[in-house]
Structure 1
Amino acid sequence: MGSFLADVAKGVVTGVIAQGFTLLVSGVIATFVAPPTVAVLGVFAIAAFGIGFVVSEIDDEYNFTEPMKREIEKIVNEN
């Protein structure tokens, strides 16, 4: 279950960062032209993929998802 919980924790971090990045990029673009939804979703998908690799590398080195994994494990074990 540890590997699964690590993936969940990394996914949460990646999703939050990718969402912020997407909002920033689409906000800047929107000052000039309204971006189509498909373009915004494409930016999110590509950003999430790239950010996921970086988050995984950082976690392998610093184990910053350990506290999140412990909390998720506690929630799973309570139910």
Structure 2
Amino acid sequence: MELVKIAGYMHDIGNAINRTHHAEYKPKIEKDRSVIALDLQIDESICFMYDYFESFLGRMMLCRKSAEVLGTTFKLTVNGRKVL
């Protein structure tokens, strides 16, 4: 548990220094179309897309399942390409 706390703290520090608008990358909710959309920009020179998806697949599945419970659709776009 202590390692998880340290990792989270380091994550926040790194994003405060290197990543602009980190808090603004939240899903957009399109109420009129019943859609929850997430548009990600991944710098593939730093992280291969496959590695990113391997790390965050659980979170993306949770978003999709949550959208279903809410009666909406979850859409994911990465670097301008539709994924879900």
TM-score between the two structures when normalised by the length of structure 2 = 0.29
Q: Which structure is higher in RCO with an 8 Å CA cutoff and minimum separation 6?
A: 1
TM-score between the two structures when normalised by the length of structure 1 = 0.30
Higher helix share: 1
